[in-house]
Amino acid sequence: MAKAKFTLYLTLVTLSTGFLIATSIESTKASLAERQNEKQFQQETQLNERILAEKEQNRQLEVQLLDLQRQVSKVEQAMAEHQSEAADILAQLDAARMMAGVVPVEGPGVIVTMQDKANAGESEDVTKYIVHEQDVRLVVNELRAAGAEAISINGQRLISNSAIRCVGPTIIVNGVKSAAPFVITAIGDPATLVNALNLPGGVLQTLEGFVQITVQSKDLVEIPAYVGDVKMESSSS
Amino acid sequence: MLAKNRKITLILSLISAIIGVMLAIQLKSNLQPVKSESRSIAELRATLQKELEKHKSLLADISKYNQLIYQYETSLDEGESISVMKEELARTRKLAGLESLEGAGAVVRIVDAPLPANTADSALESGQDAAGVYPNAVIDEDLRWLANILFANGAKAVSINGHRLIATTAIRNVGEDIQIDTKTIKPPYEIRALGDPEVLISGMKLEGVEENFKLTGKTLMIEKRDKLIIPAYNETRVIQYMKPVKTKGEQ
């Protein structure tokens, strides 16, 4: 009886020791993986912090740039008041700056919002009901044809060499990525712009069946300046 | 005997409890797989890079305006400050596409494919104009698409049949023809793009531009050029609605 008891205890103790060893090995492995996760997490946090810092810095730089532009225009304005020749040139300069997209502009216009149909995922042909880059180009093109003077997509000013690309659910304009909804802002005669989009068989009718698109006419919209290198300089003769 | 039995039961239950705990730990550690976060790190890096690029271009813009202010301030007389202004005007006009540009680039000609289309390879660059054989199958979106690809691959300026594309240029079908802004263009279409020729051409290859135009019975003749002239935008536009934002509140 005593022997049987002893055997039973021994078996149990050995068994539990085995489990102990197994668990300790397992937990060491787990903590190793955790440490790796921890490292990744730290890396992520670091990256996030750098991005935030960089964004803040960029915001300050943008303010500084706007300030400088204002200073420049003050100096130019003063010159224009003194001399008629300067006034002539300034008028041309203002126009050229607006057309080049290097200064923020405001005026009456429209805001077109495009996004995927809410139930796109449920339909059998998903690609039919999402916004494609050609849809965005189509709207932009129609606005241009209707006399839009300045256009931005999700806050990116379209300039003479802007490309509009879609990658997955994001749109890339001027190399800057942003997500849906795609908000196209245009300055021009609101009535003309809205009518052009609303033409029978026009853009709105074509797209409405496939994507969610709304057009709002506005008395005043603001379109930011294009921020970037002066790329033309290097190629000029 | 009863007491002993109870003791065994007690010990057994204790050990079972320990085993239970161990099993639980084991299960838990198995159920928590190591998540891979590398995708999000790559994404964060890309975001950071974009911000850094923006930083660089903002600094470039700021130094440009600083220089301009400096030039204005150091001009000795009105004549000199006006010439500074004129320089700034010329630079800005270039940006707006109001001046012609010269540099390296690529020329794409869209011509009718030689007959019969299925035996003719794109290598066959005979360039003969088999006019009227195919309907005018190139539509506005084809040209918009092509121009967009060129811009996406770093084209600084693009013109189609001598008409410069600027920020407000519309390309659209009007009847049988294609209009660029208010000018009607006729085939064969010639697209000129200023930029790194290698990048432009490989970009077009990557997007399958040739294959796409083949479907409409066209062949593309793509040429590298060391020197290429892109004309200035030659329509007059009166700005009616937009004006510079002057009174921007302090942020």
**DSSP structure string for A146-179:** TT-SEEEETTEEP-TT--EEEETTEEEETTEEEE
Q: Would you call B224 helix, strand, or coil by DSSP?
A: strand
pLDDT (0 to 100) of residue A232? 53
A194 touches chain B (CB under 8 A): no
Most confident of the ranges A127-136, A216-225, B25-34, B124-133: A216-225
Between the CA of residue A235 and those of B111, B165, B230, what are the distances in Å?
A: 29, 17, 11
B80 or A196, higher pLDDT: A196
Residue in B25, B45, B96 nearest the CB of A99: B96
Q: How far is residue B172 from each of residues A114, A140, A225, B10, measured CA to CA in Å?
A: 21, 11, 27, 89
CA A212 to chain B, closest CA, distance in angstroms equals 21
pLDDT attached to residue A120:
65
- Tens of pLDDT along chain A (237 residues) come to 666 777 777 777 777 777 777 777 777 777 777 777 888 888 888 888 998 999 999 889 988 988 898 888 888 888 888 888 888 889 999 999 999 998 899 999 999 999 887 776 666 677 777 888 889 999 999 999 999 999 999 989 999 989 998 887 788 888 888 888 899 999 999 999 999 999 888 888 888 888 889 999 999 999 998 886 555 544 433
Nearest 5°: the CA angle A134, B149, A116 is 25
Fill in the amino acid letter for A141: N
d(CA A67, CA A74): 11
Reported as a pLDDT band with limits 50, 70 and 90, residue B126 is very low
Q: How far apart are CA B204 and CA B148, in angstroms?
A: 10
Q: Report chain A residues whose CB lies below 8 A from the CB of B26.
A: 22-23, 26
Q: Which of A218-232, B74-88, B102-116, B211-225 has the lowest mean pLDDT?
A: A218-232
Question: Residue B124's pLDDT band (boundaries 50, 70, 90)?
Answer: very low
Report CA-CA distances (Å) from A142 to A172, A186, B135. 20, 11, 25
Which residues are CB-neighbours of A164 under 8 A, at least 6 positions away? A133, A136, A137, A140, A153, A158, A171, A172, A173, B148
Tell me the CA end-to-end span of chain B in Å, nearest whole number: 88
A 81-120 near B (Cβ less than 8 A) = 82-83, 85-86, 89-90, 92-109
Work out the pLDDT band at B2, boundaries 50, 70, 90.
low
**Measured between alpha carbons, how far is B105 from B197 in angstroms, rounded to an integer?**
5
C-alpha span between B188 and A24 (Å, rounded): 77
Please identify among residues 154-183 of chain A the ones whose CB lies closer than 8 Å to any CB of chain B.
158-165, 175-177
pLDDT of residue A235: 40
* Helical ranges in B139-196 per DSSP H: 140-152
Q: Contact at 8 Å (CB) between B72 and B208?
A: no
Size of interface A-B (CB pairs under 8 A): 279
Asked if pLDDT for residue B119 goes beyond 50, the answer is no
Do A99 and B166 meet the contact criterion of CB atoms below 8 Å apart?
yes
What are the b/e assignments for B153-166, b being 16+ CB within 10 Å? Answer: bbbbbbbbbebbbb
Gap from B244 CA to chain A (nearest CA, Å): 4
Residue B72 has pLDDT above 90, yes or no: no
CB neighbour list of residue A83: distance below 8 Å, 6 or more residues apart: B78, B82
- Directed axis angle between helix B197-206 and helix B140-152, to 10°? 130
Question: If you search the block for the tokens 């304009």, which residue do you land on?
Answer: A173
Predicted pLDDT of residue A108: 95
In this complex, do B96 and A22 lie within 8 Å of one another by their Cβ atoms? Answer: no
Which chain B positions have a beta carbon within 8 Å of A33's beta carbon?
34
User: Based on C-alpha coordinates, what's the Rg of chain A?
Assistant: 31
Asked if A64 is an interface residue toward chain B (Cβ–Cβ < 8 A), one would say yes
- Report the pLDDT averaged over residues B11-39: 66
State whether residue A17 sits within 8 Å of chain B by CB. Answer: no
Estimate the share of chain B in helix, then strand, then coil, as percent rounded to the nearest 5: 45, 20, 35
Cβ of B22 within 8 Å of Cβ of A20? The answer is yes
pLDDT digits (tens, 9 = 90+) for B148-205: 999 999 899 999 999 999 999 999 888 888 899 988 998 889 999 999 999 999 999 9
Measured CA to CA in angstroms, residue A192 lies from A142, A189, A223 at distances of 11, 5, 19
Percentage of residues in chain B with pLDDT exceeding 90?
31
| Helical segments of B32-165, H only | 38-74, 78-96, 140-152
Confidence class for position B121, pLDDT limits 50, 70, 90 = very low
Kindly give, in sequence order, each residue whose CB lies less than 8 Å from that of residue B153, ignoring residues fewer than 6 positions away.
Answer: B195, B199, B200, B202, B203, B204
Q: Check CB contact under 8 Å for A16 and B66.
A: no
Q: What ipTM is given for this predicted complex?
A: 0.75
| Token couple for A175 | 């190399």
The dihedral through the CA atoms of B119, B121, B127, B133 has a sign that is: positive
d(CA A99, CA A95): 6
More confident residue, A43 or B15: A43
- Beta-bridge mates of residue A173: A164, A176
* pLDDT of res. A109: 94
Contact A203, A139 (CB under 8 A): yes
A30 touching B (Cβ < 8 Å): yes
State the pLDDT confidence band at B120, using cuts at 50, 70 and 90.
Answer: very low
Please give the pLDDT value at position A130: 81
Contact assessment for residue B219 and residue B120, using Cβ atoms and an 8 Å cutoff:
yes
User: Could you tell me how far CA B225 lies from the centroid of its own chain?
Assistant: 21
CB-based contact A197:A143 (threshold 8 Å): yes
Tokens of A169: 């659910």
Answer yes or no: is pLDDT of B122 > 70. Answer: no
pTM tops 0.95: no
Burial degree of A33 (CB within 10 A; 0-12, 13-18, 19+): middle
Q: What is the pLDDT of residue B105?
A: 93
Q: Which of A93, A232, A233, A237 has the most B C-beta neighbours within 10 Å, making it the best mutation to test the interface with B?
A: A232
